[in-house]
Amino acid sequence: MLCVTTPPGSADDPEVGFPVVAAHEFTVGQERLRAAVRCDSGARSGRPTVLLIPGTGGTPDEIWSWNYEKALPTAGYGWCTVELPDRALGDFAVSAEYAAYAAMQAHRVSGRPIGIVGHSQGGAMAAWIAKFWPQVAAVTSDVIPIAGPLGGSAVADSLCAGGACAPIAWQMGTRSHVTRAFANAPVPDGPAFTSIQTVQDELVLPQPQAGSMRGGRTIMVQQVCPGHLADHGMLVFDPVAYALVLDALGHPGPADPSRVDRSVCGQATLPGFDPAGYTTFTHTVSALMFGLLDTRNWVPAEKPLPAYAELYDR
């Protein structure tokens, strides 16, 4: 079980020779962006605050209301969430604008540097907005993808093998324009990047490559607890993943698995887990499957990158 820390800037890194991303503006209207953000009283009262980004097919309530929204306040953190358009089944770049605005809003509300946690596509989006929106990197201390396909996923490749698939499947592929631009864009100064993954992930494959990025630290939950059972969806309420999140938020730099108390290995869920709320997660699974497999949503090619990312797609 590997903990992989890949430093930026070596001679073999694709990002060498690429300029720092320049500041740019939103294309989505401010009213829509603002309406998608919700923050709790802890964030509004100035607590250290975490932005929670949902994954493909999900809403903030379905993904976060029964786990992190309950656990973070007891650990001293406020939280904000962002609702992505079309359940994050549309254009990744459009959804990223919502997430970037939400990050800046979380900072404005709390008055502090923020952490950003995202699950699945939301994890890739957390890292994307920190790389491609300098305004986000400037107010962020930690970027923590959970089960995020940072290097794309072979599962997305297989969905698009026939020449048509859902827009987000094209973009999450291992050879997509989104994946290539993300790999090439420089890692910004400031935020620490911790990618939390599981060797049992059935959607983000292959591991650890699919969950890793240059300039970040990738940690498998099985490194902390050998033999630990956690698949892709289980990581949103996994106690080991949560312990790593708190470790990253509570220390300078990325999470360090050696600091995590091994008593967490005997826990079934993170603190405050609401089993009744877990039933809402089934709506996400249904929306994900329907959104990816409904041929009416399929397109024959990946959507063009936004102008700010085109330079890095080579």
CA–CA gap between residue 246 and residue 72 (Å, rounded): 9
Angle at 19 between CA 252 and CA 135, to 5 degrees: 50
Q: Report whether pLDDT(150) > 50.
A: yes
Arithmetic mean of pLDDT, 55-80: 98
- Cα–Cα separations (whole angstroms), residue 2 to 197, 215, 239, 268: 10, 16, 19, 23
The residues, any chain, with a CB within 8 Å of residue 304's CB and separated by 6 or more, are 177
pLDDT of residue 85: 98
Class at the top of the CATH hierarchy for domain 37-254+272-310: alpha beta
Calpha distance 204→149 (Å, rounded):
6
**Structural domain boundaries of the chain?**
37-254+272-310
Confidence band of 10 (pLDDT split at 50, 70, 90): very low
State phi, psi for 150 to the nearest 5 degrees. -65, -30
What length does the chain have?
314
DSSP characters over the chain: --EEE--S--TT-TTTTPPPPPP---SS-HHHHHHTEEE-HHHHTT--EEEEE--TT--HHHHHTTTHHHHHHHTT-EEEEEPPGGGGTS-HHHHHHHHHHHHHHHHHHHSS-EEEEEETHHHHHHHHHHHH-HHHHTTEEEEEEES--TT--HHHHHHTTTS-B-HHHHHTSTTSHHHHHHHHSPPPSS-EEEEEE-TT-SSS-STTGGG--TTSEEEEHHHHSTT----TGGGGS-HHHHHHHHHHHHSSSS--GGGS-GGGGG-SS-TT--HHHHTTHHHHHHHHHHHHH-GGG-BSSPPPPPHHHHTT--
Q: Are 62 and 284 in contact (CB under 8 A)?
A: yes
Answer whether 0.75 is exceeded by the pTM: yes
Backbone phi, then psi, for 178, in 5-degree steps?
-60, -50
Q: What is the mean pLDDT of residues 151-179?
A: 98
pLDDT bin (cut points 50, 70, 90) of residue 239 is very high
Asked if pLDDT for residue 3 goes beyond 70, the answer is no
When mean pLDDT is compared across 44-48, 213-217, 282-286, the lowest value belongs to 282-286
In this predicted structure, what is the pLDDT of residue 11?
Answer: 34
Tokens of 234: 């289980």
Give CA–CA dist 276/293, Å, rounded.
Answer: 28
Q: Report pLDDT digits (tens) over 169-209.
A: 999 999 999 999 999 999 999 999 999 999 999 999 999 99
Task: Give the confidence band of 254 by pLDDT, cuts at 50, 70, 90.
Answer: very high
Contact partners, residue 140, CB within 8 Å, separation at least 6? 103, 107, 113, 114, 115, 116, 130, 190, 191
Q: What is the mean pLDDT of residues 267-290?
A: 93
Q: Is pLDDT of 232 > 90? A: yes
Among the listed residues 212, 169, 195, the one whose alpha carbon sits nearest the alpha carbon of residue 57: 169
Average pLDDT taken over every residue of the chain: 94
Q: Give the range among 63-77, 86-100, 227-241, 272-286 with minimum mean pLDDT.
A: 272-286
